[in-house]
Amino acid sequence: MLDKKTMMKFKIGYFADGPWSHLAFEKLIQDDTISIQFIVPRSDTTDETLKGFSNKYGIDYLFPVKINSDEFFRVAKSYDCDLFVSMSFNQIFRKSIIDLPRFGTINCHAGKLPFYRGRNILNWALINDENSFGITVHYVDEGIDTGDIIKQNSYPINDNDDYSSLLEIAYVECANILYDSIKEIQSGELKRIEQNTINPVGFYCGRRGEGDELINWNQTSRRLFNFIRSIAKPGPMATTFISGVEVKINRSKIIVDAPEYIGTVGQLLAKTADGFLIKTEDSFIEICEIETSLKLKIGDKLGV
């Protein structure tokens, strides 16, 4: 158990970036027993909010930083931190930095570890038709998202959800679970869970990049529905083409009890109040919130 003096001066180094990190910062800065010693953003940051926080609260803003350099090790050591905290940070911590604070280094990950390690987890959870997604706070080790779990919560996914709605939940709940985890470490009441006790293998998700937004219409209606909602705004939106002209689709609807039948995949079958019905591998779905310079019409065939 930490003594009262330590509780009053629990010093944190915050490695963070973007909207994932803002609410968590606001929770931490309001706690009189926690002191954020410095902020390190991503090396390619465009986040003015964290920089504004550093100015407002007189917190050192270290940028740009190569976190595994000898120079940064000396700088970080001078702060004598109790804990390093990673939230949406994109550099890999090596052991010398991981072990520098008294209580190590932790990370908040929007995935249900040991599954959904890696990148773009909310997108992949929707693509994989999951009925829930997880948020995990874990210790950082020399692997990728493999360290012992501190806390993990699950949140439901239903057919009304898309990338935007999961992001809204994750921004809030990442802040909550990260703060709760730090308080457990601070109080000495922490229980660590080794990931291999949940599953000895787990799995990784790869980073999504340019070209991954292209639609393959030769898939089932359910798979297409999940794909379209997985990269809805603020994602890149699912993309297809007619005669080389781009067509972006932000939303689709499953047609309940649509029968299976053979047809031309990607063809617009009928106009609806919100968009069009389009043939899929097994049946058809409705596509909505379409962005294109073309005037679409029944009979058009969408494809790459």
Instruction: Classify residue 55 by burial, with Cβ atoms within 10 Å: 0-12, 13-18, 19+.
Output: exposed
Q: Is 106 helix (H, G, I), strand (E, B) or coil?
A: strand
Instruction: Show me where the domains of the chain are located.
Output: 4-205, 221-292
pTM of full prediction above 0.85: yes
pLDDT digits 0-9 by tens, 138-164 = 999 999 999 999 999 999 999 999 999
pLDDT digits 0-9 by tens, 193-219 = 999 999 999 999 999 999 999 999 999
**Structural tokens at position 203:** 């799995």
**Structural tokens at position 23:** 């609410």
**pLDDT above 70 coverage of the chain, percent:** 97
| CA gap 165, 80 in Å, rounded | 39
Q: Is 76 helix (H, G, I), strand (E, B) or coil?
A: helix
Q: How far from 162 is each of 124, 168, 233, CA to CA, in Å?
A: 11, 10, 9
| CA gap 105, 99 in Å, rounded | 7
The whole-number average pLDDT for the span 9-22 is 95
What pLDDT does residue 2 have?
Answer: 47
Which CATH code fits 4-205? 3.40.50.170
pLDDT digits 0-9 by tens, 164-175 = 999 999 999 999
| Whole-angstrom Cα Rg for the chain | 23
Sign of the dihedral defined by the CA atoms of residues 107, 112, 116, 121, in that order: negative
Fold match, 4-205 / 221-292:
no
| CA gap 147, 86 in Å, rounded | 13
Record: fold of 221-292: Methionyl-tRNA Fmet Formyltransferase; Chain A, domain 2 (3.10.25)
Query: pLDDT averaged over the chain?
Result: 95
Binned at pLDDT 50, 70 and 90, residue 137 comes out as: very high
What pLDDT does residue 304 have?
Answer: 59
Q: Is 109 helix (H, G, I), strand (E, B) or coil?
A: strand
Number of Cβ within 10 Å of residue 202's Cβ equals 17
